[in-house]
Chains A and B, each alone.
Chain A
Amino acid sequence: MAAASQAATVAPPVAAKTLAPAERPVALTCRNLWKVYGDGAAAFMQANETPSPEDIRQARLFAAVRDVTLEVGRGEIFIIMGLSGSGKSTLVRCMSRLVEPTAGGVFFEHKSLLRMTDEELIQLRRHKMGMVFQNFALLPHRTVLGNVAFPLEVQGMGKAEREARALKVIELVGLGDKSGHYPRELSGGQQQRVGIARSLAVEPDLWFLDEPFSALDPLIRHEMQNEFLRLQRLLSKTIVFITHDFDEAIRLGDRVAIMKDGAVIQVGTPEQLVISPASDYVSAFTKHVSRAKVLRVGSIAVPAREGEHLGGAVSASAGVAEVAALSVDSTAPLAVVDEAGTLVGKLERAAVIEVLVSGARA
């Protein structure tokens, strides 16, 4: 992709498939990002701009992140999905420079993260970033209040002010009655609520969640996912969310990046991943997914003939499962309309049934 604009100080444009949705301004960009471990990794990457896996193996190095290019839009929930060892944790740590990338660029609101001084980085993390950890990472010697107020304390905020703010966030995650408790006195789900509250206390613009619900049992996990969606509806943060659970990814994500061996092999909406998986690896995940939950009405609608008799109108962005009952009960095909209410096509009953059946087969 020979880009027209080559201004290096701002984030350069990236491949179309990884672009943030058009309606969102870009918040975070990774461009040709590499993290290579081993002796002489930096020199090696300077000598070879895009080494093949074979080159890297021969140099006795290990690439945890390979040539990752992607954009995250403001207010978007961007999911990085991969199995353990796929490099997703390293990638998210490169995005916050917890891990120093070996090559490539990271841009937050068009500023290069890698060119920042330590002082600038500290200020950025204090005010713009929050992170939730897989194993909660709560400080055992502090109460819930002390934990949530911790990032504010680090900024140097006064005691009264930071505790007032922390209490508000604790209320927000529904732990108002537990603020004096110590972490060991809380259940796993409650502990992660504290972790979430702490990461939100500084009102970050960019919110990293590193497998936040993996350490919880399935029932609690589901509850916490709902809680997460509720919070996001209130707060509209830019979110980078790591998970190894594909169901979680399609449930929560606006877009999902699938990683394997350090490389991003596909980025897309959950629907795009299901309809057109880029490789067998991706379809191995998607084939067990209920298509009816993922597919949008618009993607299986067909053009309507002029003057055709159509049933009730449904939104193109609705999930197929949501309209299934309506469609099956209706004698005529349903009218599919876009957000403005304009007719964009019709939904055949047969198409709906096909989606439902294929979901059941899987």
Chain B
Amino acid sequence: MSDFAVAPARRGVRFSPGWLIAIVVTALLVAPLAAPDSFRWALSYPTAWVVPVSDWLRAFLYWLVRDLSFGLFTFKDMTRFVASLFAAALQVPKSIFSTGVTFGEDGFHIPRLSWAGIVCAMGIWGYMLGGARLAALGALGFGYIALFGQWDSAMVTLSQVVLAVAFGVFSGLMLGIWAFRSPRLQPAVVATLDFMQTVPTFAYLVPLIFLVGVGPVSGLMATILYAMPPMVRVTMMALKAVPPELDELGRMTGCTTRQALWKVLVPSARDDLLIGVNQVIMLTLNMIIIAAMVGAGGLGFDVLNALRQPNGLGKGLEAGMAVVALAIVLDRMSRAVVELRPVHGHAAVVRRRYVWAGLAALLGFTLLSFAIPELEVLPRDWRVSTGSMWSEVVSFVNTHLFTAAEAFRTFILLNLLLPVKKALIGMPWPALIALVGAGAWRLGGWRFALGMMALIAFIPVAGLWERGMTTIYLCGISAILAILIGVPLGVLGSRSDRLHKILGTLCDTLQTMPAFVYLLPVVMLFRIGDVSAMVAIVLYSLVPAIRFTDHGLRRVPPSLTEAGTMAGCTPMQRLLKVELPYALPEIMLGVNQVIMMALSMLVVSSFVGTNDLGKQIQVAISQADPGKGLSAGLAIAFLGILTDRMIGRWVAARKAQMGLV
């Protein structure tokens, strides 16, 4: 670079691409709205142009079921065979937890695990794992379920959870190990996992019902499909995180590949792997509840049933509380296992004693229940029902809070939801595609923009405009609200350790609860409709906004905040000018999570009467129309991938800019 000649002024090009794009977008947006008659095709996507994606998918699935044959057996034979294997496997935990085993009519009966035994064992093991608090939590959680008459449903759910977790953990571990060992496969595996996690849970259900039929088995299979990906991911990461020296140790001591894996790598990755197990448990529980829609039964069915009945809310809340109890106990217990450290000497003896004492209580009470049937099934008149109490709460809420809630509901609906919905649905579809394209172009250039435009174009092209836009509107508004509430909370949490702890507990609790449970109180207050859906989505997706903000701000290096203070910043200036900009990439990752969770909540919230893509999936399930369900599922998945990639690009660029990579 010797000569510093003045670059020839590029007068020939008046507009940079950026300007051109801005003009195109504006034109596409304004022109159809200004002259609706000449741009009718842009305002509502012409039916003739719709690509019948749903029909193709339906035809494909029909072909699978009716015509595909592998010679000796057909595809349908295969799916039915796999389903029967699952059904047989489910029999084992179901007998243990839920039904017991009876030989013949009125024959010899081996009772299920006694409720008293489980409550005691939970107390003893809880004490071993986490002291008196966890003991109380375990015993009270299961005690509530027993006393309040939720035991039968809860055990149906628990037996499904046990099988799904066992299967999900095992196959997730194996797949993760396999991907870890063949680095060439890894990108493909990661891409598949990304996709699986953005597809809404329900989209799995639709084809599964079609292939396997309604019942616990299709619910179980969908649950495994949904809960396993994190295990694969955690396994890959955990094995990668094992210090290279341990890998070398394995090789230097002359381990065979198998010895190195099972004696060195997997045990060394124990903690991370167990965190994966915890995730699988929570996702499984969440999905099993939802799977009640396809006949999985259990607590989910009770909640669902309550939502369907006009006066069922009280019963529903009771079942909902049982779900929460089950979720919190399973979560805290499995997390305490992660924290468990090996001990030796006296401590080890004590620990072993607790394990045996728990087992003894469990089996002892169960053996006793041969003689005392009350220990197997708690008699009806020993049970307490809060159903009537909850009904009273509901009616109290209805009489006293109704006016306030109704005013809030109407206000939000008229001033926020309806106008935005109208504007989005009325938006010319080419303008939407162009907008997405323009944003993507700024973030990642032409090729990236083309990819993103293809994703968003799926919505009008597949004929899903109205439902798609309703989805975007509902998710968008809910996500914005969640961010508006969550980010300030996160900021507060990062300022004070006490608040940080309180928020931590709140987030834990919100995250433990299966999505279904959010609907109950919300419907109680706001009845069926978009407002209920919105509030439920906001509650459900709030957590990452709080967590990532808090975490991001806490990770700002002290030297930076000190520099801000020494420059004479007020605390507010320091927050706005130093800390938030530094933490912004992290916060944006939280925003990304918020949107993902909002999308995944869609189908659940469609129960309370929104007309979005989730609704289409729900309708597809009831009509057993796999094409419709899959195409709506794909549309949601595409929306998820779109936001994920765009935000991901932005975060990566921003981090690179700040030298944080």
Q: Which of A's residues lie within 8 Å of B, judged by CB?
A: 93, 96, 98, 121-127, 129-131, 133-137, 139-143, 150-151, 153-155, 180-182, 184-185, 202, 208
Determine which of B246, B254, B268 lies in contact with A154 in the assembled complex, contact meaning CB atoms within 8 Å.
B254
| Nearest B residue (CB) for A143 | B344
Closest CB-CB distance, B273 to chain A, in whole Å? 12
Contacts of A129 in B (CB 8 A): 252
Q: Are A154 and B253 in contact (CB under 8 A)?
A: yes
Q: Are B248 and A151 in contact (CB under 8 A)?
A: no
Kindly state whether residue B255 has any CB partner on chain A within 8 Å: yes
Q: Are A139 and B243 in contact (CB under 8 A)?
A: no
Kindly state whether residue B256 has any CB partner on chain A within 8 Å: yes
Return 12 A-B CB contacts under 8 Å, by A number: A122-B254, A126-B253, A130-B252, A131-B248, A133-B245, A133-B248, A135-B243, A139-B264, A140-B270, A150-B253, A150-B263, A180-B345
Given A125-B251, A127-B254, A133-B248, 17 new contacts (CB under 8 A): A123-B254, A125-B252, A125-B254, A126-B253, A126-B254, A134-B245, A137-B245, A137-B246, A139-B267, A139-B268, A141-B270, A151-B254, A154-B255, A155-B254, A180-B344, A182-B343, A184-B341
Bound together, the chains give a CA A131 to CA B252 distance in angstroms of 7
Bound together, the chains give a CA A136 to CA B345 distance in angstroms of 24
Contacts of B243 in A (CB 8 A): 135, 137
A-B pairs, top 5 by smallest CB distance, nearest first, are A126-B254, A125-B254, A137-B245, A151-B253, A180-B344
Contacts of A208 in B (CB 8 A): 252
Contacts of B254 in A (CB 8 A): 121-127, 151, 154-155
Q: Are A125 and B253 in contact (CB under 8 A)?
A: yes
How many A-B residue pairs lie within 8 Å, measured between CB atoms? 74
Kindly state whether residue B249 has any CB partner on chain A within 8 Å: yes
Contacts of B268 in A (CB 8 A): 139-141
Bound together, the chains give a CA A185 to CA B344 distance in angstroms of 10
Closest CB-CB distance, A213 to chain B, in whole Å? 15
Kindly state whether residue B102 has any CB partner on chain A within 8 Å: no
| Nearest A residue (CB) for B270 | A141
Kindly state whether residue B386 has any CB partner on chain A within 8 Å: no
Bound together, the chains give a CA A129 to CA B343 distance in angstroms of 31
| Nearest A residue (CB) for B345 | A180
Contacts of B245 in A (CB 8 A): 133-137
Q: Are B252 and A122 in contact (CB under 8 A)?
A: no
| Residues of B254-290 whose CB lies within 8 A of A | 254-256, 259, 263-264, 267-268, 270
Bound together, the chains give a CA A154 to CA B423 distance in angstroms of 69
Contacts of A182 in B (CB 8 A): 341-344
| Residues of B214-254 whose CB lies within 8 A of A | 243, 245-246, 248-249, 251-254
| Nearest B residue (CB) for A99 | B248
Q: Which of B's residues lie within 8 Å of A, judged by CB?
A: 243, 245-246, 248-249, 251-256, 259, 263-264, 267-268, 270, 341-345
Interface SS of chain B? helix
Contacts of B270 in A (CB 8 A): 140-141
Bound together, the chains give a CA A123 to CA B254 distance in angstroms of 7
Closest CB-CB distance, B226 to chain A, in whole Å? 30
Contacts of A151 in B (CB 8 A): 253-254
Contacts of B255 in A (CB 8 A): 122, 154
Contacts of B267 in A (CB 8 A): 139-142
Contacts of B251 in A (CB 8 A): 98, 125
Contacts of A141 in B (CB 8 A): 267-268, 270, 342
Bound together, the chains give a CA A127 to CA B252 distance in angstroms of 10
Contacts of B248 in A (CB 8 A): 93, 98, 131, 133, 137
Bound together, the chains give a CA A181 to CA B252 distance in angstroms of 24
Bound together, the chains give a CA A287 to CA B368 distance in angstroms of 83
Closest CB-CB distance, A131 to chain B, in whole Å? 4
| Nearest A residue (CB) for B257 | A118
Q: Which of A98, A126, A154: most chain B Cβ within 10 A?
A: A154
Contacts of B263 in A (CB 8 A): 139, 150, 153-154
Question: Given the interface contacts A98-B252, A155-B254, does A139 sit within 8 Å of B246 by beta carbon?
Answer: yes
Q: Are B341 and A96 in contact (CB under 8 A)?
A: no
Contacts of A124 in B (CB 8 A): 254
Contacts of A125 in B (CB 8 A): 251-254
Bound together, the chains give a CA A96 to CA B244 distance in angstroms of 15
Closest CB-CB distance, B259 to chain A, in whole Å? 6
Bound together, the chains give a CA A131 to CA B268 distance in angstroms of 19
Bound together, the chains give a CA A185 to CA B342 distance in angstroms of 10
Contacts of B246 in A (CB 8 A): 137, 139
Closest CB-CB distance, B267 to chain A, in whole Å? 4
Contacts of A96 in B (CB 8 A): 252
Contacts of B344 in A (CB 8 A): 143, 180-182, 185
Closest CB-CB distance, B233 to chain A, in whole Å? 22
Q: Are A133 and B249 in contact (CB under 8 A)?
A: yes
Contacts of A130 in B (CB 8 A): 252
Bound together, the chains give a CA A93 to CA B245 distance in angstroms of 11
Bound together, the chains give a CA A125 to CA B256 distance in angstroms of 11
Bound together, the chains give a CA A134 to CA B344 distance in angstroms of 26
Bound together, the chains give a CA A175 to CA B488 distance in angstroms of 54
Bound together, the chains give a CA A122 to CA B344 distance in angstroms of 33
Contacts of B342 in A (CB 8 A): 140-141, 143, 182
Bound together, the chains give a CA A134 to CA B243 distance in angstroms of 11
Bound together, the chains give a CA A127 to CA B256 distance in angstroms of 14
Contacts of A202 in B (CB 8 A): 253
Bound together, the chains give a CA A271 to CA B249 distance in angstroms of 34
Closest CB-CB distance, B234 to chain A, in whole Å? 18
Bound together, the chains give a CA A135 to CA B246 distance in angstroms of 9
Bound together, the chains give a CA A142 to CA B342 distance in angstroms of 8
Question: Given the interface contacts A123-B254, A150-B263, does A137 sit within 8 Å of B249 by beta carbon?
Answer: yes
Closest CB-CB distance, B649 to chain A, in whole Å? 28
Closest CB-CB distance, A115 to chain B, in whole Å? 18
Closest CB-CB distance, B244 to chain A, in whole Å? 9
Question: Given the interface contacts A137-B243, A139-B246, A182-B343, does A154 sit within 8 Å of B259 by beta carbon?
Answer: yes
| Nearest A residue (CB) for B348 | A180
Contacts of A153 in B (CB 8 A): 263
Closest CB-CB distance, A356 to chain B, in whole Å? 42
Closest CB-CB distance, B508 to chain A, in whole Å? 26
Bound together, the chains give a CA A150 to CA B344 distance in angstroms of 18
Contacts of A155 in B (CB 8 A): 254
Q: Which of B246, B252, B254, B342: most chain A Cβ within 10 A?
A: B252
Bound together, the chains give a CA A202 to CA B345 distance in angstroms of 27
Bound together, the chains give a CA A135 to CA B268 distance in angstroms of 14
Q: Which of B245, B249, B251, B267: most chain A Cβ within 10 A?
A: B249
Bound together, the chains give a CA A202 to CA B254 distance in angstroms of 11
Closest CB-CB distance, B398 to chain A, in whole Å? 56
Bound together, the chains give a CA A311 to CA B656 distance in angstroms of 74
